[in-house]
Each structure stands twice: as C-alpha cells, then as structure tokens.
Amino acid sequence: MNMKKLGILMLDTGFYRPKGDIGNPETFPYPVAYQTVEKATVKRAVKMSDSILIGSFIQSAMHLQNKGVKAITTSCGFLALFQQEIQSQLHVPFYSSSLMQIPLVHMLSGGKVGVLTARRKSLTVNHLQSVMAHQTPVAIEGMDDMPAFTTAIVDETHALDMKKVSVEMKQAVTRLLDNHPDVKAIVLECTNMPPYKRFIKEVTDLPVFDIVTLSNYVVGALD
C-alpha cells in the first residue's frame, strides 16, 4: 500500500532546503513523494514564465499520479500561472501555489491580504487570475532587493545563509505592514519561506498562511 499521499513537483534546483521548506520531507507529518521536473529552473519558471514547461510538469505529475499519490503540489508559487492547464490533465487534486489561499484568507480575515513573494517583478495579475485571486484586495511585497534571499534561492549564486535570510524576511514583512497597515493576514507565495515563519511572528501577530498550511488542509481532506 502506497502511504505517500502527497506528491510534490520540484523545480530543478540545488540549494539547501531546511526543515519547513517544501523540499524537505521532514516538513510534513506524513510521507511525501518528490519528482524533479528536469530543466524547470527558477529562471524559466519565475523570471520567464516559460509555458513550454507545462508539458514537462504534466508528464511529471502523471508519473506521481501513477505511483498512487492522492494529491499533487509544486515547489514554486509562480506555477499558479499553469494551474488550470496542469489540473485539467489529472484525476487527483492539484494545487500549484500557496496563492490559491488568497480568496479564502480574505474571507477569513475580513480585510486586505498581504502577499510576500520571492520576486515582485515576476508576480503578475495573470498569476492571480489563474488561481481566481485577482478580485481579492491584496498588497504585494517582494524579496527582490534582499541579497541573501535572492542570491541563494532565485539566482543560486551563493549558499543559503538562514540567519541573514531571517533578518531580511522580517524587514520585508515590516515594510509590507508599514506601507499597508490595513493588511489583516499574510500569504507567503514562496515555498522556501515557511522555515522563517517564526521570525515573521517576531514582527507581527497576524495569521500567516503558506504552502505548508495549504498542504495540511488538502491532505487532511484525504483521510
């Protein structure tokens, strides 16, 4: 019997993934199965929004589906752009991105949703529209000018320094809330951000949603 209920489509990356990151199996209280989508680099998925990748993601998702997983997700919130194309080819639940939580979080909190993304310049209305989040009031803040985060996770030119990234995460959230004091909850777009949630909580007591909260919700529905 296959006990791995959740399948995870991984970008083709090589950086360190601490506990809390979607790429670390210790993040989850249940077994997960990974499938790397070859040549699906951060550059192609995030910076280029390369639709040529859709076929590769579908093929990899079907491989996980055939292995018996009950739901499938991805390691990159920007894949929200391809949600409908990939989901239409599967018969198990597929959720591409933490951004899918935005409408629910808005209804739960009763106010504007703050979105913290790995790269603000890459997150477009098309990404939100693809997951039915485009009509929800949001305030978006990016890590574009945060060197420790960007060089480790987006550019992959430096090793991950968790201490420096934790400081940058707090700075980004503080900036988000200073600029948008009407934000009532936060959604982390990037699947590499959950390890730093405890540091975010040092600067705000707002609820914080991410790919792990969404995964636990979906997998809980499979029992």
* pLDDT averaged over 10-residue windows placed end to end, the chain, 223 residues: 82 98 97 97 97 98 97 98 98 98 98 98 98 98 98 98 98 98 98 98 98 97 88
Would you state the pLDDT for residue 4?
80
Would you state the pLDDT for residue 149?
98
Q: Give the range of the structural domain holding residue 86, as residue numbers without chain letter.
A: 6-97+213-220
Q: How many CB atoms lie within 10 A of CB 215?
A: 24
Q: What CATH number is associated with residue 145?
A: 3.40.50.1860
Full-model pTM: 0.96
Would you state the pLDDT for residue 223?
78
Q: Which residue has the tokens 């590769």?
A: 56
Q: Can you tell me the distance from the alpha carbon of 20 to that of 23, in angstroms, rounded to the nearest whole number?
A: 8
Do 166 and 80 share a structural domain?
no
Do 204 and 111 share a structural domain?
yes
Do 136 and 80 share a structural domain?
no
Q: Can you tell me the distance from the alpha carbon of 68 to that of 92, in angstroms, rounded to the nearest whole number?
A: 10
Would you state the pLDDT for residue 65?
97
